[in-house]
Structure 1
């Protein structure tokens, strides 16, 4: 566990590195140390086969990165940071969506790139990861906060994204609010279908439409 003094040091180090004009982040000692830690955690993750266990490991180590993340966000220079971008995705896997969205907002604002191991840009990656997390929760019949999906949609609204990715996010948003706001759910699902007719919402639209008609008839 990271001590309060260590957390304070990392926050200051990250902020100082972020405002350092001499050579950028990749030449910074503290950044290199964080990259080394990241590499070690990735090595350990490769030794874990269970996806559930991988998520648990990420949940365990994420607090050790939090001071660095806070320092970088505080510095607000928008320099590329592979540690930050990896933590964004690990936060989604660990269910820490607030951290993921905070980093996502920063990354999109400054147009940060994903690390080389990821094929898609930050907007597509964040949107798809959150949509996939919502689908896993839905498949397991567990609750997923619709506000997370709405925030992800809002963050990526102005971004140039693949239509199927945005459609997935719209679909999961619609299904997440089906019980509380079926009319709005229909609008999300209809938009998803307009972007990708293979997104798989036809039966959902039919079900919600039928339920609305039945409710109106009973009223």
Structure 2
């Protein structure tokens, strides 16, 4: 039953992920609009500069020719600068978009793992995708992720666990003591009922809880940085 539900949810996720404005194809489209906007501005500038040059020209004279040449040189320099900026924008537009099946928020790409597993296996799956379990650094990021999970009342592994020194640690070494947290009231708890609870998951209500890392009923969220 869980297998059938996972397959159905994966299909639902793939179908719906392209409908929102936060997804990668929309970012690519936006960057294309910016690029073409710069091109249009460049052509308008060229036209305006030539109109200015022609309006200042005289029938003949050495001084006139010198002034025209100066303005042409200045125009060429300005055109070169604009072309360089345009090339930079085009490079950003290709580099700053997430791959298909990943969703984007700020400078990170995320993928929702719809297969239930324990924390160790979930992290291994993320690492195999060139990413890691998500490191949540703000309420805005938390809200974005939970609004895009498509599941109700489900758990999602995040990249937070207790290390051998019994200290909470993010998988990317973000300073836990100075980082954002969203623990449920009474959490985090290192033990309950004699069982060690040393991995964290997030509910769709954006609250975090602790559980044994061997608990195998959680989905997961992978994250990788752009750049």
TM-score, scaled relative to structure 2: 0.25
**Greater helix proportion:** 1
TM-score, scaled relative to structure 1: 0.25
**Greater strand proportion:** 2
